[in-house]
Amino acid sequence: MSVYQQNFTIQSAARPTFDDVTEQVHKILAGSGIKDGLLVVFSQHTTCSVLIQEASDDLNYWGIDFLMQDLVNVLEKIIPTCLTEGQYLHPGPEHIVAAQGRDELPSWSLNTDAHLRSVILGRSVTIPVADSQMILGEFGRIYFADFDQVRARERTVRVHIIGE
Amino acid sequence: MSVYQQNFTIQSAARPTFDDVTEQVHKILAGSGIKDGLLVVFSQHTTCSVLIQEASDDLNYWGIDFLMQDLVNVLEKIIPTCLTEGQYLHPGPEHIVAAQGRDELPSWSLNTDAHLRSVILGRSVTIPVADSQMILGEFGRIYFADFDQVRARERTVRVHIIGE
Amino acid sequence: MSVYQQNFTIQSAARPTFDDVTEQVHKILAGSGIKDGLLVVFSQHTTCSVLIQEASDDLNYWGIDFLMQDLVNVLEKIIPTCLTEGQYLHPGPEHIVAAQGRDELPSWSLNTDAHLRSVILGRSVTIPVADSQMILGEFGRIYFADFDQVRARERTVRVHIIGE
Protein backbone atom coordinates (compact mmCIF):
# COMPACT_ATOMS: atom_id res chain seq x y z
CA MET A 1 0.00 0.00 0.00
CA SER A 2 1.22 3.45 -0.81
CA VAL A 3 0.10 7.07 -1.10
CA TYR A 4 0.84 9.10 -4.22
CA GLN A 5 0.09 12.75 -4.78
CA GLN A 6 0.56 15.25 -7.57
CA ASN A 7 -1.06 18.49 -8.61
CA PHE A 8 -1.35 20.59 -11.73
CA THR A 9 -2.84 23.94 -12.61
CA ILE A 10 -5.51 25.16 -14.99
CA GLN A 11 -6.30 28.70 -16.10
CA SER A 12 -9.88 29.84 -15.52
CA ALA A 13 -11.75 32.79 -17.08
CA ALA A 14 -14.04 35.49 -15.65
CA ARG A 15 -17.06 33.24 -16.28
CA PRO A 16 -17.87 29.66 -15.25
CA THR A 17 -15.33 27.26 -16.75
CA PHE A 18 -15.33 23.47 -16.94
CA ASP A 19 -11.98 21.89 -17.78
CA ASP A 20 -11.93 18.23 -18.76
CA VAL A 21 -8.93 17.01 -16.75
CA THR A 22 -9.42 13.28 -17.36
CA GLU A 23 -6.23 12.86 -19.36
CA GLN A 24 -4.07 14.72 -16.84
CA VAL A 25 -5.47 12.57 -14.01
CA HIS A 26 -4.97 9.40 -16.05
CA LYS A 27 -1.29 10.28 -16.55
CA ILE A 28 -0.82 10.88 -12.83
CA LEU A 29 -2.40 7.50 -12.07
CA ALA A 30 -0.12 5.81 -14.63
CA GLY A 31 2.91 7.46 -13.02
CA SER A 32 1.88 6.35 -9.55
CA GLY A 33 2.27 2.65 -10.25
CA ILE A 34 -0.85 2.02 -8.14
CA LYS A 35 -3.06 -0.72 -9.58
CA ASP A 36 -5.95 -0.98 -7.11
CA GLY A 37 -7.27 1.60 -4.70
CA LEU A 38 -8.98 4.95 -4.50
CA LEU A 39 -8.18 8.16 -6.38
CA VAL A 40 -9.37 11.58 -5.21
CA VAL A 41 -9.46 14.69 -7.41
CA PHE A 42 -9.80 17.67 -5.11
CA SER A 43 -10.29 21.42 -5.29
CA GLN A 44 -8.69 23.49 -2.55
CA HIS A 45 -10.60 26.55 -3.84
CA THR A 46 -13.95 27.37 -2.24
CA THR A 47 -15.54 28.62 -5.47
CA CYS A 48 -14.59 25.50 -7.45
CA SER A 49 -15.86 21.93 -7.74
CA VAL A 50 -14.80 18.63 -9.25
CA LEU A 51 -17.47 16.69 -11.17
CA ILE A 52 -17.90 13.48 -13.13
CA GLN A 53 -20.12 13.98 -16.16
CA GLU A 54 -20.60 12.77 -19.71
CA ALA A 55 -19.04 14.91 -22.45
CA SER A 56 -21.65 16.78 -24.49
CA ASP A 57 -19.92 16.69 -27.90
CA ASP A 58 -21.56 20.08 -28.58
CA LEU A 59 -20.01 23.29 -27.22
CA ASN A 60 -21.54 26.75 -26.82
CA TYR A 61 -19.97 29.97 -28.13
CA TRP A 62 -17.71 30.13 -25.05
CA GLY A 63 -16.47 26.59 -25.64
CA ILE A 64 -18.48 25.19 -22.73
CA ASP A 65 -20.08 21.74 -23.02
CA PHE A 66 -23.85 22.02 -23.57
CA LEU A 67 -24.50 19.87 -20.51
CA MET A 68 -22.36 22.14 -18.33
CA GLN A 69 -24.10 25.25 -19.65
CA ASP A 70 -27.42 23.54 -18.84
CA LEU A 71 -26.08 23.06 -15.31
CA VAL A 72 -25.13 26.74 -15.07
CA ASN A 73 -28.58 27.73 -16.37
CA VAL A 74 -30.31 25.60 -13.72
CA LEU A 75 -28.10 27.01 -10.96
CA GLU A 76 -28.73 30.55 -12.21
CA LYS A 77 -32.43 30.07 -11.46
CA ILE A 78 -31.86 29.42 -7.76
CA ILE A 79 -28.50 31.16 -7.24
CA PRO A 80 -28.44 34.19 -9.56
CA THR A 81 -25.09 35.65 -10.56
CA CYS A 82 -23.99 38.13 -7.89
CA LEU A 83 -23.83 41.53 -9.58
CA THR A 84 -23.80 43.95 -6.66
CA GLU A 85 -23.43 44.15 -2.89
CA GLY A 86 -26.70 43.62 -1.00
CA GLN A 87 -27.94 40.93 -3.39
CA TYR A 88 -26.81 38.28 -0.88
CA LEU A 89 -25.80 38.76 2.76
CA HIS A 90 -22.21 37.86 1.83
CA PRO A 91 -19.92 39.74 1.39
CA GLY A 92 -20.64 41.77 4.53
CA PRO A 93 -18.70 44.76 5.89
CA GLU A 94 -16.28 42.72 8.03
CA HIS A 95 -15.41 40.56 5.03
CA ILE A 96 -14.62 43.60 2.88
CA VAL A 97 -12.31 44.99 5.56
CA ALA A 98 -10.51 41.64 5.74
CA ALA A 99 -10.29 41.39 1.94
CA GLN A 100 -8.84 44.90 1.63
CA GLY A 101 -6.27 43.90 4.24
CA ARG A 102 -5.19 41.25 1.71
CA ASP A 103 -5.01 43.89 -1.06
CA GLU A 104 -8.13 42.46 -2.71
CA LEU A 105 -10.53 44.76 -4.57
CA PRO A 106 -14.00 44.82 -2.94
CA SER A 107 -15.55 43.68 -6.24
CA TRP A 108 -13.55 40.43 -6.07
CA SER A 109 -15.77 39.40 -3.15
CA LEU A 110 -18.90 39.53 -5.35
CA ASN A 111 -18.51 35.79 -5.96
CA THR A 112 -21.19 34.65 -3.51
CA ASP A 113 -22.95 32.76 -6.31
CA ALA A 114 -19.77 30.78 -6.96
CA HIS A 115 -19.33 29.88 -3.27
CA LEU A 116 -22.92 28.60 -3.15
CA ARG A 117 -22.96 26.78 -6.49
CA SER A 118 -19.66 25.04 -5.83
CA VAL A 119 -20.51 23.82 -2.32
CA ILE A 120 -23.67 22.20 -3.69
CA LEU A 121 -21.68 20.41 -6.41
CA GLY A 122 -18.92 19.39 -4.01
CA ARG A 123 -15.19 19.88 -3.72
CA SER A 124 -13.95 16.49 -4.89
CA VAL A 125 -14.69 13.17 -6.54
CA THR A 126 -13.49 9.79 -5.30
CA ILE A 127 -12.91 7.28 -8.09
CA PRO A 128 -12.19 3.55 -7.69
CA VAL A 129 -9.04 2.27 -9.37
CA ALA A 130 -8.87 -1.34 -10.60
CA ASP A 131 -6.22 -2.92 -12.81
CA SER A 132 -4.48 0.48 -13.09
CA GLN A 133 -7.59 2.11 -14.58
CA MET A 134 -10.07 4.60 -13.15
CA ILE A 135 -13.59 3.17 -13.13
CA LEU A 136 -15.44 5.83 -15.11
CA GLY A 137 -17.70 3.68 -17.27
CA GLU A 138 -18.07 4.30 -20.99
CA PHE A 139 -18.86 8.01 -20.74
CA GLY A 140 -17.53 9.42 -17.48
CA ARG A 141 -15.14 12.37 -17.72
CA ILE A 142 -13.61 14.36 -14.86
CA TYR A 143 -14.23 18.12 -14.92
CA PHE A 144 -12.68 20.85 -12.82
CA ALA A 145 -15.37 23.53 -12.48
CA ASP A 146 -14.54 27.12 -11.57
CA PHE A 147 -17.76 29.00 -10.83
CA ASP A 148 -16.02 32.27 -9.94
CA GLN A 149 -17.08 34.97 -12.42
CA VAL A 150 -15.28 37.99 -10.98
CA ARG A 151 -11.79 37.28 -12.27
CA ALA A 152 -9.64 34.83 -14.22
CA ARG A 153 -7.25 32.84 -12.07
CA GLU A 154 -4.73 30.03 -12.02
CA ARG A 155 -6.25 27.12 -10.09
CA THR A 156 -4.64 24.06 -8.55
CA VAL A 157 -6.09 20.59 -9.15
CA ARG A 158 -4.98 18.04 -6.54
CA VAL A 159 -4.81 14.31 -7.18
CA HIS A 160 -4.25 11.88 -4.30
CA ILE A 161 -4.17 8.11 -4.76
CA ILE A 162 -4.08 5.39 -2.09
CA GLY A 163 -3.67 1.76 -3.02
CA GLU A 164 -1.31 -1.02 -3.95
CA MET B 1 -3.75 -2.82 4.83
CA SER B 2 -5.55 -4.16 1.83
CA VAL B 3 -7.88 -3.17 -1.01
CA TYR B 4 -11.05 -5.12 -1.70
CA GLN B 5 -13.47 -4.57 -4.54
CA GLN B 6 -16.68 -6.14 -5.74
CA ASN B 7 -19.64 -5.02 -7.83
CA PHE B 8 -23.22 -6.06 -8.36
CA THR B 9 -26.03 -5.00 -10.63
CA ILE B 10 -29.51 -3.60 -10.15
CA GLN B 11 -32.33 -3.26 -12.67
CA SER B 12 -33.74 0.25 -13.10
CA ALA B 13 -37.04 1.34 -14.66
CA ALA B 14 -38.02 4.11 -17.12
CA ARG B 15 -38.60 6.46 -14.20
CA PRO B 16 -36.41 7.54 -11.25
CA THR B 17 -35.55 4.53 -9.09
CA PHE B 18 -33.96 4.34 -5.65
CA ASP B 19 -32.66 0.91 -4.67
CA ASP B 20 -31.74 0.32 -1.04
CA VAL B 21 -28.43 -1.53 -1.45
CA THR B 22 -27.38 -1.47 2.21
CA GLU B 23 -27.60 -5.23 2.67
CA GLN B 24 -25.62 -6.02 -0.48
CA VAL B 25 -22.90 -3.60 0.59
CA HIS B 26 -22.87 -5.03 4.11
CA LYS B 27 -22.30 -8.54 2.72
CA ILE B 28 -19.42 -7.32 0.57
CA LEU B 29 -17.84 -5.68 3.62
CA ALA B 30 -18.27 -8.88 5.63
CA GLY B 31 -16.61 -10.86 2.83
CA SER B 32 -13.69 -8.46 2.65
CA GLY B 33 -12.40 -9.23 6.13
CA ILE B 34 -11.57 -5.51 6.53
CA LYS B 35 -12.29 -4.24 10.05
CA ASP B 36 -11.27 -0.58 9.93
CA GLY B 37 -11.02 1.74 6.97
CA LEU B 38 -13.04 3.47 4.29
CA LEU B 39 -15.74 2.03 2.04
CA VAL B 40 -16.82 3.72 -1.21
CA VAL B 41 -20.06 2.93 -3.04
CA PHE B 42 -19.70 4.33 -6.55
CA SER B 43 -21.79 4.81 -9.68
CA GLN B 44 -19.93 4.63 -12.98
CA HIS B 45 -23.10 5.87 -14.75
CA THR B 46 -23.44 9.62 -15.36
CA THR B 47 -27.21 9.69 -14.80
CA CYS B 48 -27.01 7.86 -11.45
CA SER B 49 -26.06 8.78 -7.88
CA VAL B 50 -25.34 7.06 -4.58
CA LEU B 51 -26.99 8.57 -1.50
CA ILE B 52 -27.25 8.00 2.25
CA GLN B 53 -30.74 8.68 3.53
CA GLU B 54 -33.23 7.52 6.15
CA ALA B 55 -35.82 4.99 5.00
CA SER B 56 -39.31 6.50 4.76
CA ASP B 57 -41.37 3.48 5.83
CA ASP B 58 -44.09 4.75 3.47
CA LEU B 59 -43.89 4.04 -0.27
CA ASN B 60 -45.73 5.70 -3.16
CA TYR B 61 -47.69 3.81 -5.85
CA TRP B 62 -44.44 3.12 -7.75
CA GLY B 63 -42.82 1.65 -4.65
CA ILE B 64 -40.59 4.68 -4.12
CA ASP B 65 -39.83 5.89 -0.58
CA PHE B 66 -41.81 9.06 0.23
CA LEU B 67 -38.59 10.91 1.06
CA MET B 68 -37.09 10.00 -2.32
CA GLN B 69 -40.25 11.09 -4.15
CA ASP B 70 -40.05 14.37 -2.22
CA LEU B 71 -36.48 14.70 -3.52
CA VAL B 72 -37.63 14.06 -7.09
CA ASN B 73 -40.43 16.63 -6.66
CA VAL B 74 -37.96 19.27 -5.46
CA LEU B 75 -35.56 18.54 -8.32
CA GLU B 76 -38.45 18.65 -10.82
CA LYS B 77 -39.01 22.29 -9.85
CA ILE B 78 -35.54 23.39 -10.90
CA ILE B 79 -34.66 20.65 -13.42
CA PRO B 80 -37.91 19.67 -15.18
CA THR B 81 -38.13 16.26 -16.81
CA CYS B 82 -36.72 16.51 -20.35
CA LEU B 83 -39.59 15.74 -22.71
CA THR B 84 -38.35 17.06 -26.04
CA GLU B 85 -35.28 18.38 -27.83
CA GLY B 86 -34.75 22.12 -27.38
CA GLN B 87 -35.87 22.09 -23.75
CA TYR B 88 -32.21 22.10 -22.68
CA LEU B 89 -29.13 22.81 -24.81
CA HIS B 90 -28.12 19.15 -24.44
CA PRO B 91 -28.50 16.94 -26.46
CA GLY B 92 -27.18 19.01 -29.36
CA PRO B 93 -26.73 17.96 -33.00
CA GLU B 94 -23.17 16.64 -32.59
CA HIS B 95 -24.25 14.51 -29.67
CA ILE B 96 -27.08 12.95 -31.65
CA VAL B 97 -24.71 12.08 -34.50
CA ALA B 98 -22.35 10.44 -32.00
CA ALA B 99 -25.21 8.58 -30.30
CA GLN B 100 -26.52 7.25 -33.60
CA GLY B 101 -23.00 6.02 -34.36
CA ARG B 102 -23.40 3.88 -31.22
CA ASP B 103 -26.79 2.59 -32.49
CA GLU B 104 -28.63 4.63 -29.84
CA LEU B 105 -32.08 6.06 -30.58
CA PRO B 106 -32.10 9.89 -30.50
CA SER B 107 -34.80 9.81 -27.81
CA TRP B 108 -32.41 7.99 -25.46
CA SER B 109 -30.43 11.24 -25.24
CA LEU B 110 -33.42 13.09 -23.75
CA ASN B 111 -32.03 12.37 -20.29
CA THR B 112 -30.55 15.80 -19.66
CA ASP B 113 -32.58 16.10 -16.45
CA ALA B 114 -30.99 12.90 -15.16
CA HIS B 115 -27.45 14.08 -15.94
CA LEU B 116 -28.10 17.33 -14.06
CA ARG B 117 -29.95 15.85 -11.09
CA SER B 118 -27.38 13.12 -10.56
CA VAL B 119 -24.32 15.38 -10.71
CA ILE B 120 -25.84 17.57 -7.99
CA LEU B 121 -26.45 14.54 -5.76
CA GLY B 122 -23.02 13.08 -6.49
CA ARG B 123 -21.62 9.85 -7.86
CA SER B 124 -20.54 8.14 -4.64
CA VAL B 125 -20.61 8.00 -0.89
CA THR B 126 -17.59 7.35 1.35
CA ILE B 127 -18.46 5.52 4.57
CA PRO B 128 -16.16 4.93 7.56
CA VAL B 129 -15.74 1.31 8.66
CA ALA B 130 -15.00 0.53 12.32
CA ASP B 131 -15.06 -2.87 14.01
CA SER B 132 -16.22 -4.47 10.72
CA GLN B 133 -19.32 -2.25 10.58
CA MET B 134 -20.25 0.66 8.35
CA ILE B 135 -20.88 3.80 10.41
CA LEU B 136 -24.40 4.69 9.28
CA GLY B 137 -25.99 5.71 12.57
CA GLU B 138 -29.39 4.44 13.61
CA PHE B 139 -31.21 5.37 10.40
CA GLY B 140 -28.74 5.63 7.52
CA ARG B 141 -29.40 3.47 4.46
CA ILE B 142 -27.44 3.42 1.20
CA TYR B 143 -29.46 4.06 -1.97
CA PHE B 144 -28.46 3.66 -5.59
CA ALA B 145 -30.42 6.31 -7.49
CA ASP B 146 -31.04 6.07 -11.24
CA PHE B 147 -32.53 9.36 -12.46
CA ASP B 148 -32.68 8.28 -16.12
CA GLN B 149 -36.30 8.24 -17.27
CA VAL B 150 -35.87 7.34 -20.94
CA ARG B 151 -35.27 3.61 -20.56
CA ALA B 152 -34.89 0.76 -18.10
CA ARG B 153 -31.35 -0.53 -17.74
CA GLU B 154 -29.09 -2.85 -15.83
CA ARG B 155 -26.77 -0.73 -13.71
CA THR B 156 -23.51 -1.61 -11.97
CA VAL B 157 -22.92 -0.67 -8.33
CA ARG B 158 -19.23 -0.62 -7.37
CA VAL B 159 -17.96 -1.16 -3.85
CA HIS B 160 -14.31 -0.48 -2.98
CA ILE B 161 -12.90 -0.88 0.52
CA ILE B 162 -9.46 0.12 1.84
CA GLY B 163 -8.39 -0.77 5.34
CA GLU B 164 -6.97 -3.38 7.63
CA MET C 1 0.00 2.61 6.21
CA SER C 2 -2.47 2.88 9.03
CA VAL C 3 -6.07 3.76 9.84
CA TYR C 4 -6.92 6.25 12.56
CA GLN C 5 -10.36 7.21 13.77
CA GLN C 6 -11.80 9.53 16.36
CA ASN C 7 -15.09 11.31 16.89
CA PHE C 8 -16.38 14.27 18.84
CA THR C 9 -19.74 15.86 19.44
CA ILE C 10 -21.32 19.22 18.80
CA GLN C 11 -24.54 20.68 20.17
CA SER C 12 -27.04 21.85 17.55
CA ALA C 13 -30.03 24.19 17.97
CA ALA C 14 -33.65 24.07 16.72
CA ARG C 15 -32.61 25.93 13.56
CA PRO C 16 -29.91 25.29 10.92
CA THR C 17 -26.46 25.38 12.54
CA PHE C 18 -23.03 25.42 10.95
CA ASP C 19 -20.16 24.59 13.30
CA ASP C 20 -16.64 25.31 12.15
CA VAL C 21 -14.86 22.10 13.21
CA THR C 22 -11.55 22.75 11.43
CA GLU C 23 -9.52 23.03 14.64
CA GLN C 24 -10.97 19.85 16.16
CA VAL C 25 -10.20 17.94 12.96
CA HIS C 26 -6.70 19.41 12.80
CA LYS C 27 -6.00 18.19 16.33
CA ILE C 28 -7.20 14.69 15.48
CA LEU C 29 -4.93 14.65 12.43
CA ALA C 30 -1.98 15.82 14.56
CA GLY C 31 -2.69 13.04 17.08
CA SER C 32 -2.87 10.40 14.35
CA GLY C 33 0.76 10.75 13.34
CA ILE C 34 -0.32 10.30 9.70
CA LYS C 35 1.66 12.51 7.31
CA ASP C 36 0.26 11.65 3.89
CA GLY C 37 -3.10 10.19 2.97
CA LEU C 38 -6.81 10.92 2.98
CA LEU C 39 -8.96 12.31 5.77
CA VAL C 40 -12.75 11.93 5.83
CA VAL C 41 -15.08 14.01 8.00
CA PHE C 42 -18.42 12.21 8.09
CA SER C 43 -21.94 12.72 9.41
CA GLN C 44 -23.80 9.61 10.49
CA HIS C 45 -26.98 11.74 10.81
CA THR C 46 -29.34 11.90 7.82
CA THR C 47 -30.33 15.52 8.39
CA CYS C 48 -26.71 16.75 8.60
CA SER C 49 -23.92 17.48 6.13
CA VAL C 50 -20.21 18.23 6.17
CA LEU C 51 -19.04 21.10 3.95
CA ILE C 52 -15.85 22.95 3.00
CA GLN C 53 -16.43 26.67 2.66
CA GLU C 54 -14.73 30.01 3.18
CA ALA C 55 -15.46 31.75 6.48
CA SER C 56 -17.66 34.84 6.03
CA ASP C 57 -16.16 37.05 8.76
CA ASP C 58 -19.67 38.53 9.19
CA LEU C 59 -22.29 36.70 11.28
CA ASN C 60 -26.06 37.16 11.41
CA TYR C 61 -28.08 37.69 14.60
CA TRP C 62 -28.07 33.92 15.23
CA GLY C 63 -24.30 33.75 14.93
CA ILE C 64 -24.43 32.07 11.52
CA ASP C 65 -21.88 32.96 8.86
CA PHE C 66 -23.41 35.20 6.17
CA LEU C 67 -22.40 32.72 3.46
CA MET C 68 -24.14 29.87 5.30
CA GLN C 69 -27.29 31.94 5.78
CA ASP C 70 -27.18 32.71 2.04
CA LEU C 71 -27.04 28.94 1.48
CA VAL C 72 -30.05 28.40 3.75
CA ASN C 73 -31.93 31.19 1.93
CA VAL C 74 -31.26 29.56 -1.46
CA LEU C 75 -32.33 26.14 -0.20
CA GLU C 76 -35.48 27.65 1.35
CA LYS C 77 -36.61 28.69 -2.13
CA ILE C 78 -36.64 25.13 -3.46
CA ILE C 79 -37.06 23.17 -0.22
CA PRO C 80 -39.25 25.30 2.11
CA THR C 81 -39.06 24.67 5.84
CA CYS C 82 -41.49 21.87 6.73
CA LEU C 83 -44.10 23.42 9.03
CA THR C 84 -46.92 20.88 8.93
CA GLU C 85 -47.84 17.38 7.77
CA GLY C 86 -49.00 17.19 4.15
CA GLN C 87 -46.49 19.78 2.96
CA TYR C 88 -44.28 16.97 1.69
CA LEU C 89 -45.14 13.28 1.23
CA HIS C 90 -42.79 12.43 4.11
CA PRO C 91 -43.54 11.81 6.96
CA GLY C 92 -46.34 9.43 6.00
CA PRO C 93 -48.58 7.42 8.30
CA GLU C 94 -46.33 4.35 8.49
CA HIS C 95 -43.40 6.54 9.45
CA ILE C 96 -45.33 8.17 12.28
CA VAL C 97 -46.33 4.77 13.67
CA ALA C 98 -42.69 3.67 13.59
CA ALA C 99 -41.52 6.92 15.19
CA GLN C 100 -44.06 6.64 18.00
CA GLY C 101 -42.78 3.10 18.58
CA ARG C 102 -39.42 4.77 19.32
CA ASP C 103 -41.10 7.22 21.73
CA GLU C 104 -40.64 10.09 19.29
CA LEU C 105 -43.16 12.92 19.09
CA PRO C 106 -44.88 13.08 15.67
CA SER C 107 -43.69 16.68 15.26
CA TRP C 108 -40.06 15.51 15.39
CA SER C 109 -40.64 13.92 11.97
CA LEU C 110 -41.41 17.31 10.40
CA ASN C 111 -37.78 17.55 9.32
CA THR C 112 -38.31 16.60 5.69
CA ASP C 113 -36.63 19.82 4.58
CA ALA C 114 -33.52 18.87 6.54
CA HIS C 115 -33.37 15.37 5.01
CA LEU C 116 -33.59 16.87 1.51
CA ARG C 117 -31.22 19.79 2.05
CA SER C 118 -28.57 17.63 3.68
CA VAL C 119 -28.59 14.89 1.03
CA ILE C 120 -27.99 17.50 -1.66
CA LEU C 121 -25.03 18.94 0.25
CA GLY C 122 -23.62 15.51 1.07
CA ARG C 123 -22.73 13.53 4.17
CA SER C 124 -18.95 13.90 4.15
CA VAL C 125 -15.89 15.60 2.77
CA THR C 126 -12.67 13.86 1.76
CA ILE C 127 -9.56 15.97 2.26
CA PRO C 128 -6.03 15.19 1.06
CA VAL C 129 -3.32 15.18 3.73
CA ALA C 130 0.27 16.08 2.77
CA ASP C 131 3.19 16.77 5.13
CA SER C 132 0.84 16.32 8.12
CA GLN C 133 -1.45 19.12 6.92
CA MET C 134 -4.93 19.08 5.44
CA ILE C 135 -4.95 20.64 1.97
CA LEU C 136 -7.59 23.34 2.43
CA GLY C 137 -6.03 26.23 0.56
CA GLU C 138 -5.88 29.72 2.03
CA PHE C 139 -9.57 29.98 2.93
CA GLY C 140 -11.07 26.50 3.28
CA ARG C 141 -12.79 25.71 6.59
CA ILE C 142 -14.66 22.52 7.53
CA TYR C 143 -18.26 22.98 8.69
CA PHE C 144 -20.61 20.48 10.29
CA ALA C 145 -24.10 21.50 9.15
CA ASP C 146 -27.23 20.42 11.02
CA PHE C 147 -30.29 21.32 8.94
CA ASP C 148 -32.79 19.83 11.40
CA GLN C 149 -35.05 22.58 12.73
CA VAL C 150 -37.41 20.58 14.92
CA ARG C 151 -35.18 20.08 17.93
CA ALA C 152 -31.72 20.74 19.38
CA ARG C 153 -29.53 17.67 19.59
CA GLU C 154 -26.07 16.38 20.36
CA ARG C 155 -24.46 15.30 17.09
CA THR C 156 -21.44 13.09 16.42
CA VAL C 157 -18.73 14.18 13.99
CA ARG C 158 -16.62 11.26 12.71
CA VAL C 159 -13.06 11.64 11.49
CA HIS C 160 -11.30 8.76 9.70
CA ILE C 161 -7.78 9.01 8.33
CA ILE C 162 -5.91 6.52 6.13
CA GLY C 163 -2.28 7.06 5.26
CA GLU C 164 1.30 6.69 6.31
Tell me, yes or no, if A51 comes closer than 8 A to chain B by beta carbon.
Answer: yes
Q: Does C79 touch chain A (CB under 8 A)?
A: no
pTM of the model: 0.98
**pLDDT one-digit tens code per residue, A96-109:** 999 999 999 999 99
Which chain C residues touch A94 with a CB distance below 8 Å? 56-58
Interchain contact B121–C (C-beta under 8 A): yes
Residues in A touching C37 (Cβ below 8 Å): 3, 160, 162
According to the model, what pLDDT value does residue A73 have?
Answer: 98
Whether C94 has its CB under 8 Å from any CB of chain B: the answer is: yes
DSSP E strands in chain B: the ranges are 2-11, 17-20, 37-43, 48-54, 124-130, 133-134, 140-146, 154-163
Which residue, C106, C22, C48, C3, is CA-closest to B136? Answer: C48
* B40/A37 CB distance under 8 A: no
Alpha-carbon distance of A102 to C122, in angstroms, equals: 32
CB atoms within 10 A of CB A141: 18
pLDDT of B101: 96
Give the model confidence (pLDDT) of C47-98 as tens digits: 999 999 999 999 999 999 999 999 999 999 999 999 999 999 999 999 999 9
For C16-30, what is each residue's pLDDT tens digit?
999 999 999 999 999
List, as ranges, residues 6-35 from B with C-beta within 8 Å of A: none
**What percentage of chain B exceeds 70 in pLDDT?**
100
Q: Are C125 and B38 in contact (CB under 8 A)?
A: no
Residues C16 and C139 sit within 8 Å (Cβ to Cβ): no
Q: What pLDDT, on a 0 to 100 scale, did the predictor assign at position B47? A: 98
The count of other CB atoms within 10 Å of the CB of residue A148 is 27
ipTM of the complex: 0.97
Within 10 angstroms of residue C10's Cβ, the number of other Cβ atoms is 16
For chain B, the maximum distance between any two Cα atoms, rounded to a whole number of angstroms, is 53
Q: Which residues of chain C make contact with B140, given a CB cutoff of 8 A? A: 44, 46
The type of residue at A156 is: T
pLDDT for the residue C3: 97
What are the pLDDT digits (tens) for C107-125? 999 999 999 999 999 999 9
Q: What is the mean pLDDT of chain A?
A: 97
No. of helices (H) and no. of strands (E), chain C: 4, 8
Q: CA of B69, closest CA in chain C: separation in Å?
A: 8
List the single residue in B57, B140, B164 with the smallest CB-CB distance to C3: B164
Q: With a cut of 50, list the residues of chain B below it in pLDDT.
A: none
Search chain A and give the residue with CA nearest C67.
Answer: A90
Per residue in A47-87, pLDDT (tens digit) is: 999 999 999 999 999 999 999 999 999 999 999 999 999 99
- In sign, the C-alpha dihedral spanning C108, B59, B79, A68 is positive
Q: Cβ distance C100 to C33 under 8 Å?
A: no
